[in-house]
Amino acid sequence: QKEVEQDPGPLSVPEGAIVSLNCTYSNSAFQYFMWYRQYSRKGPELLMYTYSSGNKEDGRFTAQVDKSSKYISLFIRDSQPSDSATYLCAMSAYSGGSNYKLTFGKGTLLTVNP
Amino acid sequence: DTEVTQTPKHLVMGMTNKKSLKCEQHMGHRAMYWYKQKAKKPPELMFVYSYEKLSINESVPSRFSPECPNSSLLNLHLHALQPEDSALYLCASSQETRTPLTASVAKNIQYFGAGTRLSVL
């Protein structure tokens, strides 16, 4: 079983739809949970991060963490064509010394059609 | 400002060439990272520098040689690469403290540059 599982999609939705992106994980040591957006041929851009279970909202984006189920989600409301990108979940765990390492999901390719 | 700048944006090199990738950040971060990303795959960690010292080397072949000349700069020297090394090379940075096991938010949050797209012929 991989440490982080993410459905690679592709996911295609009409403009204005609500998008739900999800990751599951198996490592209880993960402490921080991030969502990155990556446009084609560009570097990952940090969208949101969360620590505890619960919801965190930023504009049209809501990140949700359920540590008891080892499940995280990213919701995008009123999706726009500019949201078309690959969305990567990432989780951070202590790796010795003063280091923390990120473990990424495979990424979900999202296309929002006008 | 959460900017990490990488140069060059694109690089084409032969298998006998020597080239370097450069990464710069001015956020005062003291942890810097190199990742390799192949198409349709997530980033893979290569190296971590903490306070300008190499702290993690993920068993990367010696044809990749990292260097951290100061707290703002990170280089990746390339020599005798193979075609399978063609990929997007990403630099990232995060805050750092000298206190082990301090699970501060800042330490866990990495900011990425736009990457260098490398083609080895």
CA distance A47 to chain B (A): 10
Decide: helix, strand or coil at residue A19: strand
Residues 57-86 of B with CB under 8 A from A: none
pLDDT at A97 over 80: no
Predicted pLDDT of residue A98: 66
The number of beta carbons lying within 10 Å of the beta carbon of residue A5 is 16
> Torsions phi, psi of A77, nearest 5?
-95, 155
Confidence of residue A2 (pLDDT cuts 50, 70, 90): confident
- Asked if the C-beta of B27 comes within 8 angstroms of chain A's C-beta atoms, the answer is no
pLDDT at B102 over 90: no
- Asked if the C-beta of A101 comes within 8 angstroms of chain B's C-beta atoms, the answer is yes
User: What are the tens digits of pLDDT across the range B50-77?
Assistant: 889 998 899 999 999 999 999 999 999 9
User: What are the tens digits of pLDDT across the range A73-89?
Assistant: 999 999 999 999 999 99
Contact A43 B108 (CB under 8 A): no
- Share of residues in chain A with pLDDT > 70 (%): 97
- Asked if the C-beta of B102 comes within 8 angstroms of chain A's C-beta atoms, the answer is yes
Out of A8, A43, A100, the one facing B90 most closely (by C-beta) is A43
Separation of alpha carbons A61 and A35, rounded Å: 10
> Torsions phi, psi of A22, nearest 5?
-135, 155
